[in-house]
Amino acid sequence: MQADVRSRISNELRQRFARAKNLLVMTGAGVSAESGVPTFRGGGQTAVWKGLPFEIISSAGMLERDLPAVWEWFNYRRGLLASLKPNPGHEAIARWQTLCGDLTLVTQNIDGLHQRAGSRNVIELHGNLWRGRCLDCGARHDLREFKFDKSVPVCFDCGGSLRPDVVLFGEMLPVGAFEAAAIKAESCELCFVIGTSAVVYPAASIPEIAHAAGAYLVEVNPETTPLSAICDEVLTGKAGEILPLFER
């Protein structure tokens, strides 16, 4: 299996990777799949909570209608994540950051596994499951410091209700996160898009921006996506098997 995948990485890509000074890596749920985190789409796994599809329970409308239910959903997911660890895909990307001149990691994932693998300065487009944010004063808090004895945790600073610090459907991305990723996309030479179905916007426009600006675009995914057609290379397979094959 490994030899098969290795032979699918072209010499051109190997050379580009070896000399690239400015890389952009964008990841989605698929990079965490081998750690045991369920994906949203693809691979037959569809996140459903008490009969509600994730587009409903992870939406701005649900937050307004039923904040305790949203907390119940995210508490459940933090419980699932607590025992999971970074996999060889996360670890390879963290190593690349120490080897390559300038590597920017942009993730749609909220699980924090890239940081646990050692990646630094990660641009989180959709927030982080381990943080809460006060609906009144906007303060952010590490949820690991909270006892979940109430259905909705309250802010240490002002006593307001907290919400999960993640970007739900119909909400804007954190100020500056998309803009920082887009600036890197415009100037990178090589862009890897790993484990994303590339259907959720504006995140999916980051690799499109890189491609339009002339970057060499590489997709790593067991399935094809709407992005595959514009990629310079598509590496069909799992991130944890393919990414460790790139070493300088």
What is the footprint of ligand BJW within residues 29-48 (CB under 6 A)?
29-30, 33-34, 39-43
* Minimum gap (Å) between residue 159 Cβ and ligand BJW: 26
By CB under 6 A, is residue 169 in contact with ligand BJW? yes
Nearest to 30 by CA among 242, 204, 221: 221
* # chain residues binding ligand BJW, by CB under 6 A: 36
Smallest gap from residue 67 Cβ to ligand BJW (A): 14
| Token pair listed for 92 | 């390879």
Strands (E), the chain: 22-27, 48-49, 52-53, 102-107, 123-124, 127-134, 140-142, 162-166, 190-194, 216-221, 233-236
Active site residue 90: no
Q: Is 171 in the site for ligand BJW (CB under 6 A)?
A: yes
CB nearer ligand BJW, residue 94 or residue 166: 166
Nearest distance from residue 183's CB to ligand BJW, in Å?
19
Provide the residue type at 154 as one letter: V
108 binds ligand BJW (CB under 6 A): yes
Residue 10 Cβ, how far from ligand BJW at the closest point, in Å?
19
Binding mask 216-235 for ligand BJW (x = CB under 6 A): ----xxxx-x----------
State which of residues 200, 228, 233, 236 lies at the interface with ligand BJW (CB under 6 A): 200
The verdict on 195 binding ligand BJW (CB under 6 A) reads: yes
Q: Does 202 bind ligand BJW (CB under 6 A)?
A: yes
The active-site residue out of 114, 126, 141, 211 is 126
Burial profile 186-207: b = 16 or more Cβ within 10 angstroms, e = fewer: eebbbbbbbbbbbebeebbebb
Contacts of residue 215, defined as CB under 8 A and 6 or more positions apart, other chains included, come to 24, 185, 188, 189, 190, 191
Nearer to ligand BJW, 188 or 220 (CB): 220
Residue 114 has a CB neighbour count (10 Å cut-off) of 26
Placement of tokens 């641009």 in the chain: 123
Q: Which of 212, 210, 220 is nearest to 245 (CA)?
A: 220
| Sign of torsion over alpha carbons 206, 209, 210, 211 | positive
Any contact of residue 128 with ligand BJW (CB under 6 A)? no
Please select the residue that binds ligand BJW; options are 9, 56, 199, 245, rule is CB under 6 A.
199
Query: Binding to ligand BJW by residue 80, rule CB under 6 A?
Result: no
- Name the residues annotated as catalytic: 126
